[in-house]
A and B are shown apart, each in its own frame.
Chain A
Amino acid sequence: MTLSQGKLCTILSVIALLLFVVSVSIGRDSLPLFAALKDTLAGTDSVYSVILTQIRLPRALIALVAGATLGLCGAAMQGLLRNPLASPGLVGSASGAAFFAVLVLYFGSNIVPPYVLPLAGMFGALLATALVYALAGRDASVTTLILAGVAINALATAGMSLLLNLAPSPFAVRELVLWTLGDITDRSMSDFWLMLPTSLIGWAMLVGVGGKLDSLTLGERTAQSMGVNPVHLRWRVFIAVSLAVGAAVATVGMIGFIGLVVPHLLRPYVAHEPGRLLAASALGGACVLLAADIGVRLIPTDSPLKVGVLTALVGAPFFLHLIVRSRREYL
């Protein structure tokens, strides 16, 4: 089933592009797309053009970037740790971001301007990674790093539980819980511009990591003899993941399973090479999040369905299916 890298990426890009167009054209009420496009291109501020450019476009763009981040970072973490169970949340940045975002919702949601929420999330992601660094030390082994990540995750989760526990009213509890579920509804272009630079820095740091991850599959010693500095590589991936995932979580909340499932799904098509998996997973992640975000708009529920809930609901059984299938293959 192996495809050439160019072919695979082209197919995934085409799917992502199609889903992006569908995402922009779908809403609760149908939008006369042609009129909306005409108004937008003519520069007139009609209701349609505002809906298209200020409500639907940022939503699709954020789904694209956040999905790509989750897929890419999942693949990078699985390659680095040589463990198919690794997910981008392992370094603590996701829960760090979520904790700080919830902190802002709890204390200052009506006082601070809206851009403080994603900024606080990104700060939380960086702080969590810094704490992992401080806990594990510069020359830490993979196991120490994971343990430090788990500890920071636990601390951030405990912090969130504490805030929920102390919330002043049932309404506040609901708001905090719903935020953590992961959702892309009604984000604005300013949210997109806030998340983009940090996401791009994270992605850029992962450029060129692919070959090193390939060498790492031969074992750390062999990789070292091939000129790979494992400690250097580890921190490079960790900081990249922390930046990109932090930006994604700060903007859309916790969206599970994309980082875990997408690399699994695509691994057979890239001959199980972690280096080739990176770009493919980024595109695949974007496709999955765009599709899930279209799904939540199409599935009619009484309370609006959150996209993080949908990805987990679909992702978990699918993951089980993958495990069963791979067990059959190994036997």
Chain B
Amino acid sequence: MSLLFILSARNVAAETPPIKVASINLCADQLVLLLADKEQIRSLSTLSHDEAGSFYFEKARSFPTNDGHAEEILTLQPDVVIVGQYSNKHTVALLKEVGLTLQTLPIANSIEAVLDNILNVAKWVGHRQRGEALIATLRNRLLALESSQESRPLAAVYDPNGYTSGGQSVRGQIMEYAGWRNAASLAGIESYGKLTLEAIIKLQPDALIESPYSPGTYSRAQAMSQHPALLAAGLDPQIIHIPSRMTVCGGPWTFDVIELLQAERLKLASE
């Protein structure tokens, strides 16, 4: 029965020509690579080939890239162009003016928004069912998370220069789902802000979660954990390292991060 269904779905797909897609935004690149068929993808952004920012960088390398200029996109004649919320305003206006169909991928500020983005990109590239199936799997993974409330240690996202994420951000929600309490929220940061050294000493987080964009260089979180003031206060937060390609954009890998952080939490509890 299900085989028959797949076969008939194939036939429908063969009748309507596939939607040609171009993306000028890194996060849209990822979701296009995830949800569209190979033949549909006309162009991805240059950043899609970048190891540090692009989760599917290996897969992306078999596709041509663009620098996000109107001219390059127009010559490709895509059926839909996916742009980011902060793509160049002039390019977006010009692409609209010359008659291309544009879709804007907003920046996800919650896990729900990540799922919405997956569904929307799936619709834009003509694979709605594919998106719905993926979302169902991801929701099940959230439900399967170990949800004991006994140990909820405190952690903070620690990016270079002390930037951190509060509860109204994907990274904040990741911590929530993984069972950590967020020091940034306790410090009054809602979405994105700076975590001062004083706040760290006062809140005494058990872990700092870092995700440096240039790995191999020196770790800001590591340096911070060695700060004399922290040592003097007797603090020795654990440093949890997450590759930046898993935190720059939201997607299925976001759920990998949740599971990874949960495992780290359970490890800490058993120590």
Contacts and interface: CB of A to CB of B under 8 A. Distances in A.
Interface of A: 27-29, 47, 50-51, 54-56, 105, 109-110, 114, 117, 168-172, 174-175, 178, 185-188, 190-191, 302, 304
A304 B107 CA distance: 23
B107 A171 contact: yes
Interface string B83-111: 01110111111100110000010010000
B112 interface: no
Contacts of B69: 28, 185-186, 304
B153 to A, nearest CB: 27
A25 to B, nearest CB: 12
Contact of A186 (B70, B85, B192): B70
17 contacts: A29-B75, A47-B74, A50-B74, A55-B98, A110-B85, A114-B89, A168-B191, A169-B191, A170-B163, A171-B85, A171-B86, A185-B69, A186-B71, A188-B93, A188-B94, A188-B97, A190-B97
A109 B89 contact: yes
B94 A54 contact: yes
A28 B72 contact: yes
A185 B91 contact: yes
A108 to B, nearest CB: 11
A168 B191 CA distance: 8
Given A114-B89, A170-B163, A304-B68, 9 more contacts: A27-B71, A28-B69, A50-B74, A54-B97, A169-B191, A170-B192, A185-B69, A185-B88, A186-B94
Nearest to A54: B98
B74 A51 contact: yes
A188 B67 CA distance: 18
Select the residue from B71, B90, B107 with max chain A CB neighbours within 10 A. B71
Select the residue from A29, A56, A169, A302 with max chain B CB neighbours within 10 A. A169
Contacts of B84: 171
A53 to B, nearest CB: 10
Contacts, number: 72
Contacts of A304: 67-69
A50 B98 contact: yes
Contacts of B67: 28, 304
Contacts of A170: 163, 192
Given A28-B69, A54-B98, A169-B192, A114 B88 contact: no
A304 B84 CA distance: 17
- Counting from the closest, the 7 A-B pairs by CB-CB distance are A114-B93, A186-B91, A171-B86, A186-B70, A186-B90, A188-B94, A186-B94
B2 to A, nearest CB: 42
A249 to B, nearest CB: 14
A9 B86 CA distance: 43
Interface in B111-158: none
A186 B88 contact: yes
A186 B95 CA distance: 9
Contacts of B98: 50, 54-55
B163 to A, nearest CB: 8
Contacts of B71: 27-29, 51, 55-56, 186
Contact of B89 (A28, A50, A54, A105): A105
Contacts of B192: 168-170
Contacts of A105: 89
A50 B77 CA distance: 12
Contacts of A114: 89-90, 92-93
B46 interface: yes
Contacts of A302: 46
Contacts of A188: 90, 93-94, 97
A300 B115 CA distance: 37
A187 B94 contact: yes
Nearest to B67: A304
Nearest to B87: A175
B118 to A, nearest CB: 20
Given A54-B97, A186-B94, A174 B75 contact: no
Nearest to B68: A304
A293 to B, nearest CB: 13
Given A186-B69, A188-B94, A55 B89 contact: no
Nearest to A188: B94
Contacts of A185: 69, 88, 90-91
Interface string B9-37: 00000000000000000000000000000
Contacts of B75: 29, 47, 51
A307 to B, nearest CB: 13
Nearest to A52: B71
A44 to B, nearest CB: 14
Contacts of A175: 86
A47 B73 CA distance: 11
Contacts of A29: 71-72, 75
Interface in B48-79: 67-72, 74-75, 77
Contacts of A47: 74-75, 77
Contact of B70 (A55, A109, A191): A55
A27 B71 CA distance: 8
Contacts of A54: 94, 97-98
Contacts of B92: 114
Contacts of A178: 88
Contacts of A50: 74, 98
A51 B156 CA distance: 49
Contacts of B77: 47
A29 B76 CA distance: 11
Contacts of A186: 69-71, 88, 90-91, 94
